[in-house]
Amino acid sequence: MPENEKPKPKIDLNRREMPKQAHHVRSHNFFEVALGYTAQLAMEEAQRCLQCKKPFCVADCPVNIKIPEFIHAVAEGDFATGIRILKERNSLPSVCGRVCPQEEQCESHCALSKKGGTIAIGRLERFLGDWEGAQAEAALPEMASPTGKKVAIIGGGPAGLTAAADLIKAGHQIVIYEALHKMGGVLYYGIPEFRLPKSIVDREVDYLRRLGVEMHTDFVVGKTRSLESILEEFDAVFIGTGAGLPWFMEMPGNNLNGVYSANEYLTRINLMKGYSYPRNDTPIKRHKKVAVLGGGNVAMDCARTALRLGAEATIVYRRSRAELPARLEEVENAEEEGVQFRYLTLPLKTIGDDHFNVTALECQKMELGEPDASGRRSPVPVPGSEFILPFDCVIHAIGNGPNPLIPQTTPGLTIGKKGNIVIDLDTGKTSKERVWAGGDIATGAATVISAMGAGRKAASSIHEFLMS
């Protein structure tokens, strides 16, 4: 039917809200905060999509999901087709639907965004992923016939999992080596249960296993076996070992008991399930007053975790609310749950008692000055404004450097100033023959989806190399 004969539909700007646990309930449990769309809500939301001929949403997706197509299928109630379209480009829909910053990517250029009715692309993606998870068994995609080529993936996080999925579908044999005892990397040890249930990570990993990906946990490449020796057995290697080196703010008192890196705090909780201690053996201290230094998503995760463990949690951030790098949704969730925010506050020193336990944080007031290179107004200390806040726990959530194990143990890899592996950004190729890299190990700590995008780019370059 020609376009002009279609009756013009009335634009529905009512973005369907996703049900959540009430804040006073969820702040005391580790269950997922958001509950997901029902089929009815998902269809209503999908039916609002204008199905643009030139979809800007797709252009802003790091993995180029065919967004209007999958949304169309949801609108029709054909969820099986929807998930098939989605999975052509994204092997981890339930994960991405939860943790991607859609508001900065696909959703930011939705044709309805100017009118205030942006389509909830992330929520629909999540709905489809979860819908499939609830089915007896996920359908397997079409696989290319075996090429006889072998690719090793170092690191079982989002970059590695995406590269693995793409390459196995292209017919190559894939082996993933993961250092920890669980697959998923930061999805497992970093992002808390209440934001990304581990059962979902397990499910998406299991899907890859069903595709035929071989996985070795408890295997530290660079230690258990060198990358060189892996290269002898494989045609190509992808390194996605992530940003596994915690940074601490440079100040006195960092080695007191009660001071944590965000990685340690979250790993104790997520990977080691410290919240169910003593049922699980790894303990986490039940601190009373927790300070979290930093203003990113990881800082929000730490503060909200501390809250759930019964503490009073405070984000200490040297700029103001407007400059918080965390997703707005996460900030709002934290605020609703009762996390306190100390803006324009610079920590100077962690103070401890005779037993090396944290008792307080010495801070200084800041004011906003001229915009800096990042365009954000840079904070300037107010002289003589030092003050002391009582805390028994201080968590440093100011970011992570690239994990040094592979850079240190692999000759021939060009390493950048920050310890990252230098790659060609278009292909993921490193300076070393037959070795690709991507995600945080190459480009510094960023988002799950950008790591997935890097995994995808590298996979396509590896595929091209293997087939030539």
Partner 1 sequence: MVKILENKMIVPNICMITVSAPEIARSVQAGQFVIVRADEDGERIPLSVSDWDVDQGTITLVYVLVGKTTQRLATLTPKDNLPTVVGPLGNAMEIDLFGKVACIGGCYGLASIYPIARALKEKGNRVTIIVEGRSSNLMYWQKKLKSVSDQLIVITRDGSQGIQGHIGNLQTLLARPDMLPDRVIVNGCNYLMMRAAEETRPLNIKTIVSLNTLMIDGTGMCGVCRLTVSSSTKFACVDGPHFDAHEVDWDELAQRRKAYLFEETQLLRSSQPQEC
Interaction site with partner 1 (CB under 8 A): 179-181, 189, 217-220, 223-226, 244-246, 248, 254-255, 257, 260-261, 263-264, 267-268, 271-273, 277-283, 285, 355-356, 403-405
Nearer to partner 1, 267 or 443 (CB): 267
Nearest to 243 by CA among 397, 420, 454, 436: 420
Q: What is the DSSP string of 58-115?
A: HHT-TT---HHHHHHHHHTT-HHHHHHHHHHH-S-HHHHHHHS-GGGTGGGG-TTTTT
Q: How far is the CB of 456 from partner 1 (least distance, A)?
A: 25
Q: What residues pair up with 174 in beta bridges, in sequence order? A: 151
Beta carbons within 8 Å of 344's beta carbon, 6+ residues apart: 317, 318, 319, 320, 365, 366, 367, 368, 379
Q: Which is nearer to partner 1, 226 or 460 (CB)?
A: 226
Determine the Cα–Cα distance for residues 58 and 266; give it in Å rounded to an integer: 33
Query: Toward partner 1, which CB reaches closer, 82 or 244?
Result: 244
- DSSP 3-state of 331: helix
CB closer to partner 1, 71 vs 180:
180
Shortest Cβ distance from residue 438 to partner 1 (Å)?
Answer: 19
Nearer to partner 1, 73 or 239 (CB): 239
Q: If you compute the radius of gyration of the chain from its CA atoms, what whole number of angstroms results?
A: 23
Do 258 and 459 form a contact (C-beta atoms < 8 A)? no
Encoded tokens for 124: 């629909």
Please identify, using beta-carbon distances, which residue of 285 and 327 lies nearer to partner 1: 285
- Paired tokens of 58: 């797709």
Q: Please report how close the Cβ of residue 181 comes to partner 1 at its closest, in angstroms.
A: 5
Terminal-residue alpha carbon distance, the chain: 44
What contacts 375, CB < 8 A, 6 or more positions away? none
Q: Of the two residues 244 and 453, which places its CB atom closer to partner 1 in the complex? A: 244
Q: Toward partner 1, which CB reaches closer, 222 or 455?
A: 222
Q: Cβ closer to partner 1: 120 or 302?
A: 302
Give the shortest CB-370-to-partner 1 separation in angstroms.
33
The tokens for 296 are 């990113």
Question: Whole-number minimum distance, CB 282 to partner 1, in Å?
Answer: 4
CB of 224: closest distance to partner 1 in angstroms?
5
Closest distance to partner 1 from the beta carbon of 272 (Å): 7
Q: Residue 243 gets which letter from DSSP? A: -
Contact 177, 145 (CB under 8 A): no
Question: Nearest approach, Cβ of 351 to partner 1 (angstroms)?
Answer: 15
Query: Which residues lie across from 260 on neighbouring strands?
Result: 395
In the complex, least distance from residue 266 CB atom to partner 1, rounded to whole angstroms: 9
What torsion, rounded to 10 degrees, do the Cα atoms 387, 291, 341, 289 define? -90
